[in-house]
Structure 1
C-alpha cells in the first residue's frame, strides 16, 4: 500500500517545482538608453508569446516613456546620465540588487563615460569587471547579457565607442563562467546613430525595434539557463526532503 505521506510528499514536490519555476527576475540595467526608451516595453511584448511571459522585470525605476503600452512591466534599473565608472566606484549596484534581486541582467553602459568625460576604455572595462562581481555577489548564478553599445548620431564619439565595443568581447570571454555565463550582444552593427536615434543619443521607434531584436534571442538563452537552475534547485530540495522523511508502508 502506498502511504498517504508519500503521496503528500509527491504533491508537495510538484508544488515546489511549480513555485520555483514560475517567475524569473530580470533586471534591465544601464543608463538613459535603458531608462527613457521603449525597447523594454517591446521586449515585454515579445515575451508574452513564450514560456517566459510572466518574467518579473525588477528595478527601482518605473517610468513609462510614452511607449503607448499600459500593460508592460516597467521596473528597471536604468539611470540617466550615470557613468559605469561611477556606479562601480560608488557601489550603487550593490544596493540596487539588494533591494531588487535578479536571476538575469542586461547591461548597456559606457555611453556617458565616453560622451560626458571621455574616460579611457581600460577604465570603463575595469568598471565592468567590478559590476559583474557585484552581480555575482548578489547571485552566484547570475546570467549576464552585456551590450556592445549603440552608436551616437552627434559629435565625434563613435571611434571611442567602437574601441570600447571591441574591448568588450575578450573581456567577456575572460569573465565567463559555467555557473554565471556572460553573453555579448552587438547593438552597434546595423544601427544608425542618425536614423535610429531620435536625438542623436536615444533610440527612436526604429532604434527600439533594432535593440529589442538583438536583446531577445540572447535573453531567451539566459532565461532558459536560469530556469534550468530553478528546476535543479527544486529537484535537489525534493531529494533532500525524501532522504529525511521516514518511509511508511
Structure 2
C-alpha cells in the first residue's frame, strides 16, 4: 500500500549532517548520520474530473491542493491532460475539467480511456453532470454514464479510488427547472454508489450540495465564486484525506496474495421486450482484463421501482431496495480475455414506469499475479 508522506524533521537532520561531514572531510574527520532518508515513493496521482466547475478555472482545486500540502500531504500529484487555468495562487493545476462537457457525451464517445492512459491516476475526484442536468437528460442516463466511466477507471486500475460529488446547486436565469433537477438527480447518487462500489475500488459520495448557496457562492447561479471554491474544497478535503491516510496500492496490478481477485469487466444492459407492468432484459458481461476469468458477478439496479423476478443463465439474489446480484452459472463463468457471457431476466415494474432501464456493473474473478 502507498501512503502520502507528511514532511519529517528527520530529513532536515540528515541534510545538515551530510553538509557537516563534507566540511570536516579535509581535516580527516567523519560524521556518521544517525538516520537515513527512506527512498522517495511515487506520488499519489489524483485526477480532478468534470466540466467547467472543475476546470475553468476550477479554483477550488487550488484551495484543496494548498490545504492538503499545508496539512502535510507532500507526495501528491494532481493529474490531467489540461494545464492550470489561472486562480492566482501556486498549486498543481493539472486537471480533467473540460468546460461545456456532458458526462453522457464523454461516456458515449469513449473519451475517458485515453485521458486515463495519459495520466494514470490512483484516485479520481469527480464533479460531473451539471451540463447534463441543464440539458434535461434523464437521471437514469446520467447514472449509466457514471457507471461506464467507473468501469473504464477500473480497467485502467482495478484498485481505483473514486470520489463522486452530489452536485452543487444550480439556478441559472435561463433554466427555471434546473434547481429541482439537481435535487432529484443528487437523490439518486447514494444508491448508485452503493451498488457500484467494491472492496477493491470503493466509491465514496461527497455531499457538495448541502450548505451551498447559488446566491452567495456562485457568480452566475452555476459557477462558484471565491466563497464557493472554499466550500467545495472544504467538502472534498476530509474525504480525500481519508483515502490518502488509508493508502492506495502501489501500482495497478500489483501482485497480491495467491488465489483469485476481482478483475476488470464491463456489463451492458439491453431491453428485449416490454409490456405494461414488466419487461424482459438482457445483460452482457465482458472480461476486459488481460487474464482469463474463472467467474463473474453482476449488479443490476433496475430503474423506476422495477424488480427482477426471474433470471436465467445465472443465479440471483435481490436486496430490499431492488438491487439484484447475479452470479454466473456453472457453464458460463469461465471467460477468456475479451470473451462475454449473457444472462436474461424478467422484471416486474409499476404500471407508470417508463421505458425499461437499469444500471449494471460487474466484477470478474481472475488469478492473482
**Same fold by TM-score greater than 0.5:** yes
Q: 1:220 aligns with which of 241, 244, 255?
A: 241
Contact 1:29 1:76 in 2 (8 A): yes
- Over 3 Å counting, the alpha-carbon distance change for 1:236 and 1:94 in structure 2 is closer
Question: Higher relative contact order at CA 8 Å, sep ≥6: structure 1 or structure 2?
Answer: 1
Deviation at 1:48, TM superposition (A): 1.1
Structure 1 equivalent of residue 300 of structure 2: none
After superposition, the Cα gap between the structure-2 partners of 1:139 and 1:193, relative to the gap in structure 1 and judged at 3 Å, is same
Match of 1:30 among 31, 50, 72: 50
From the two aligned structures, give the one with the greater strand fraction. Answer: 2
1:83 aligns with 2:99: no
Give the whole-Å Cα distance in 2 for the aligned partners of 1:203 and 1:47: 20
Greater fraction helix: 1
Is the contact between residue 85 and residue 127 of structure 1 (CA under 8 Å) also seen in structure 2?
A: yes
**Aligned counterpart, 1:247:** none
How many aligned positions are there? 217
Q: Residue 127 of structure 2 is aligned with which of 108, 118, 123?
A: 108
Q: Could you tell me how far 1:51 is from its partner in structure 2? A: 4.0
> How far apart are the structure 1 equivalents of 2:107 and 2:148?
6
Write out the 4+ residue segments of structure 1 that deviate beyond 3 Å after TM superposition: 233-237
- Give the direction of change, closer, same or farther, for the CA distance of 1:236–1:141 in structure 2 (3 Å limit): closer
Number of the residue aligned with 1:240: none
Render the CA deviation track for 1:66-98: whole Å, top value 9, x for unaligned.
x121x2101000000000100001010111001
Match of 1:142 in 2: 160
**Cα offset, 1:22, TM superposition:** 4.0
Partner of 1:9: none
CA RMSD of aligned residues (A): 2.2
Q: 1:181 aligns with which of 176, 198, 202?
A: 202
Question: When the two structures are superposed, what TM-score results if normalisation uses the length of structure 2?
Answer: 0.56
Q: Separation in 2 of the partners of 1:234 and 1:64? A: 34
Q: Return the offset for 1:205.
A: 0.2
Separation (CA, whole Å) in 2 of partners of 1:136 and 1:83: 21
Confirm whether residue 209 of structure 1 aligns to residue 209 of structure 2: no
Contact 1:29 1:105 in 2 (8 A): yes
Shift of 1:236: 7.0
Q: CA deviation at 1:235?
A: 10
Unaligned runs of 5+ in 1: 1-13, 238-249
